[in-house]
Amino acid sequence: MTTKAVDVQEVQTHLRELLSLVGSGTEIILIEGYMPVARLVPPEPLSVTRVAGLHQGAMYTSEDFDDPLPDAFWTGNQ
């Protein structure tokens, strides 16, 4: 992984470019003067694979889910 140091004052004007570099695998070190203050690194790839139907039956939709709401709901009267 390559590393690039960028002054904090330059970040706002070059943010899109820096994010593009991070997305392609470059680590960005944000510095203020000669002091590093933050590090931008690419996110770790998701290691969890999603399985369709894993919790089948855990949720359901009631028969009236798309019925109009009662007037009391809209007016705030109980």
- Which sequence spans correspond to the domains of the chain? 1-42
For the segment 6-40, what is each residue's pLDDT rounded down to a tens digit?
A: 999 988 899 999 999 999 989 999 999 889 999 99
Task: Indicate the SS3 state at residue 23.
Answer: helix
H/E run at residue 39: strand 35-40
Q: What is the pLDDT of residue 78?
A: 65
H/E run at residue 31: strand 27-32
Residue from 8, 5, 28 nearest 18 by CA: 28
For the segment 37-76, what is each residue's pLDDT rounded down to a tens digit?
A: 999 998 887 788 888 888 888 888 999 999 999 888 888 8
> Taking a C-beta distance cutoff of 8 angstroms, is the pair 21, 4 a contact?
yes
> Taking a C-beta distance cutoff of 8 angstroms, is the pair 30, 8 a contact?
yes
User: In this structure, which CATH number among 3.90.180.10, 3.30.465.10, 3.30.930.10, 3.40.1620.10 belongs to the domain 1-42?
Assistant: 3.40.1620.10
